[in-house]
Structure 1
């Protein structure tokens, strides 16, 4: 992907970025690869439009890893998939000698990418990743994306019935641990895909706590 520029955004070509791409290709699917690259491009365009200073390499690695927690190689038995992806990215960057503060930044970006109302108020890379994901998955900010940019990005990283396939892809990543979706938007996926799924109710948890009053 050397010196590739799409919609005016340069795809990072560092050793770290290229290795992250290789891991995404190896352990992800075509759907997750295209989604992750679109997410990076959408996030980068938003950063440029709003004159936000950010580290392209860190944003790229965050985008590459943000859904890898759904995959068999990285997913755990007991953690939210976002945490699995964040842990994987942290381990990857740690192997390259990246300092702790930067590791935490990337960890937060991935762990919070499905947390609307929180991520957008954190550091640039965290907020931008959340923006890019939301634009690609639910179309948030679609009207701010020019038709030319949209067409150029989709030509390189097509959606291929993304709406049809992304919900089952999400579900496959955590159907073995639906309890981890409590308190997150992923509980909606379980409710959609599991006819007998019973969500935990926060009010019930309060009423049923061991406290006497």
Structure 2
């Protein structure tokens, strides 16, 4: 039986259900609820803006977008966003999804924390970015009414999300903090990881091996 939240249908194709099962198995309640809110808030913003998008690809992107934080999918040396994107690509390839669709999902996941870029790409990529921004930082908060927000949060509770998500982020990449260089997750390490010293781009330039 299909389920709709705030008039947004949760995709229930075999491909979508399989992706949800992976999140259930390897994620936790925090990621489950967050990922579904990301899908719903992204879809709601897309509908409000009159943007056409593939709901199934948007949903799968949302389900995988933070799976790179989990032990199952975390690599020793890649950004967690890339780990999640690679996991989604492997899953979709196994199910014979066309390459163009796979590239959309890969980009949506890999770029979901890339401020100033993702919002200008294809709808599925931009809407995952805006769904994440809405749920994590409250970006464009008034673009969705309080009534609709309550329906989404009623179905997928926040449960002190503000205070739980930053430690959850750190847990996913504290073994490879160097992968946060050049992206917003360095702020998480700076706040929560004792002794963390972020790489400085200017130092990389000034101390490069080039002899001037």
TM-score in terms of structure 1 length: 0.98
1:159 is matched with 158
Size of the aligned set, in residue pairs, is: 212
1:191 is matched with 190
1:86 is matched with 85
Structure 2: give runs of 5+ residues left out of the alignment: none
Looking at structure 2, the residues matched to 11 and 137 of structure 1 have their Cα atoms a distance apart, in angstroms, of 21
2:42 is matched with 43
Structure 1 range deviating more: 193-202 or 77-86: 193-202
Structure 1 range deviating more: 75-84 or 100-109: 100-109
Q: Calculate the aligned-residue CA RMSD, in Å.
A: 0.6
Looking at structure 2, the residues matched to 208 and 63 of structure 1 have their Cα atoms a distance apart, in angstroms, of 39
Q: Deviations over 1:77-135 (max 9, x none)?
A: 00000000000000000011011111111100000000010000000000000000000
1:54 is matched with 53
Looking at structure 2, the residues matched to 42 and 83 of structure 1 have their Cα atoms a distance apart, in angstroms, of 22
1:131 is matched with 130
1:146 is matched with 145
Q: Deviations over 1:18-74 (max 9, x none)?
A: 011111111001000000000000000011000101000000000000000000000
1:71 is matched with 70
Looking at structure 1, the residues matched to 202 and 149 of structure 2 have their Cα atoms a distance apart, in angstroms, of 43
Looking at structure 2, the residues matched to 206 and 163 of structure 1 have their Cα atoms a distance apart, in angstroms, of 36
Shift of 1:195: 2.7
2:115 is matched with 116
Looking at structure 2, the residues matched to 105 and 38 of structure 1 have their Cα atoms a distance apart, in angstroms, of 20
The DSSP-based 3-state class of the residue aligned with 1:48 is: helix
1:27 is matched with 26
Looking at structure 2, the residues matched to 57 and 101 of structure 1 have their Cα atoms a distance apart, in angstroms, of 14
The DSSP-based 3-state class of the residue aligned with 2:96 is: coil
Looking at structure 1, the residues matched to 43 and 89 of structure 2 have their Cα atoms a distance apart, in angstroms, of 21
TM-score in terms of structure 2 length: 0.99
Structure 1: give runs of 5+ residues left out of the alignment: none
Shift of 1:194: 1.6
Shift of 1:143: 1.1
Shift of 1:145: 1.1
